[in-house]
Chains A and B, each alone.
Chain A
Amino acid sequence: MLAGSLRPLSRLAVPRMLATSSLVSSATAFRVGVSYLGLLTERTPTLLRLAVQASIGGAGNGRAQAEFRDDLIALARDSAEMSWREVRRGLDDLDAFTRPDDPAEQPRRPHRVKS
């Protein structure tokens, strides 16, 4: 009786959601990769310069070591932030792309649990 009172969801809904999630995951991985490459391209020259300065002796050696540490951790943190941002963007996309257009198709609780 309960099943009879429900509007059936499309049989394609689950395969469609799985396909969408695969696409969104791939797109997210691609975007993370591209952004990470951009970040590396931007920061690597400075890091290399500091690495060389920090490795050779001289008056500015200690300062270069400290700068290198700061910049290296900053690169790691910015990468993590960027990845996290892209993953959240992917989640938002997945949510938007898998939302049924027709409100009648949205899963609904068939009866009130409490009256």
Chain B
Amino acid sequence: MTTGVGASDEVIARLGAAGEIQLLRERLAAWLDSVDEELHGSLAWAFAGTAKHFRPLTLFACHRALHETQASEAIEFAFALELMHNMSLIVDDVLDESAERRGIATVEHRFGRLTALMASGYLVADAFAACADDPFAIRHLSELLRRLGAAECLQWRLRRQPLGVEDWRRIAGEDTGSMFEICAVLGGRSQRLRQFGHLLGVLYHGCDDVGDQRGLEALGGGGEEDIRDGILTLPAALAIRDAEIRELFRIDDDDPTRLEALADAFRAQLDDAERVLDRTADSARAEAEQFADDPEPLLALVDEVRQLSRR
């Protein structure tokens, strides 16, 4: 089994979290050895690509920002959140009908839809089981699951709608933002860094959108599917200010000429998108400086996430 050793190890080392991530990988490997044989193959596959681990990195950084103790006590929370995150990826891929994730076939393409959906349920069950003795963690995992579900529905309901940047921010804040928020809350074991987590999640989501338009694979790709499905990405929200592009965006077909025109229009917005992301990064830094006892791990994390749209 591989649990994502790759280029992101440089980032992990720079953030000084190699020890914690190693413990997390060992925890994931031990868990995989214990899962039901019927789903073992699909669950191992879900963790087989090169993971970037930005969610556990956020959790560990928030722990260090508020506590002097080692983050090892946060490993179980990071483990639970990794299970939740991978559940959301499997469901995303089913919805998007994606063929690849992290450079390999998606769980659905490899094992079929039934197995993919059952594996996602299995992940949620074990995430809760990992925190069964901790009501604080259970409460926040429940919040995460509720918000992720609602965010997915919101994102699909708002497809091909002529909306703006602030609507994108709302979607990003409930989708990726909620996950990073809960990482920050569980890592700090308090609400102090919740807004930091939220802003970091929005930043990550935006960098993902921009990276996709730059044709980067670093964040998992998926730009073509988003254009085809009319998903409101950050470059899309900026581009559809133009009436002509807005009309193209609202059409529901697979016409390659239309999709290429949209891709070109979205790419033309990348500089503006970077400016939006710079502002979001500044807000996250302000939160870190205001509310962390030691803001350094958080500032370093913001810098690493901010680079993702350019790598």
Contacts and interface: CB of A to CB of B under 8 A. Distances in A.
Interface of A: 62-63, 66-67, 69-70, 73-74, 77-78, 81, 84-85, 88-89, 92
B241 A67 contact: yes
Contact of B164 (A70, A78, A92): A70
Contacts of B242: 62-63
B165 A63 contact: no
B283 A69 contact: no
Interface in B37-87: none
Nearest to B245: A63
B212 interface: no
Interface in B244-279: 279
A85 B166 contact: no
A67 B237 CA distance: 10
Contact of B195 (A69, A74, A77, A85): A85
Contacts of A84: 195
B253 to A, nearest CB: 24
B286 A66 contact: no
15 contacts: A62-B242, A63-B241, A66-B240, A67-B241, A70-B166, A70-B237, A70-B241, A73-B166, A81-B283, A85-B195, A85-B287, A88-B290, A88-B291, A89-B291, A92-B291
A84 B166 CA distance: 18
Contacts of A85: 195, 286-287, 290
Contacts of A73: 164-166
B30 interface: no
Nearest to A81: B283
Given A74-B166, A85-B287, A88-B290, 4 more contacts: A70-B165, A73-B166, A81-B283, A85-B290
Interface in B114-170: 164-166, 169
Main secondary structure of the interface of B (DSSP, over half): helix
A69 B243 CA distance: 15
User: Residue among B166, B279, B283, B291 with the most chain A CB within 10 A?
Assistant: B166
Interface in B277-311: 279, 283, 286-287, 290-291
A63 B243 contact: yes
A66 B291 contact: no
Contacts of B279: 78
Closest 8 CB pairs of A and B: A66-B241, A73-B166, A70-B165, A70-B164, A62-B243, A63-B241, A63-B242, A89-B290
Contacts of B286: 85
Interface in B207-260: 237, 240-243
Contacts of A67: 241
B166 A77 contact: yes
B164 A69 contact: yes
Contacts of B241: 62-63, 66-67, 70
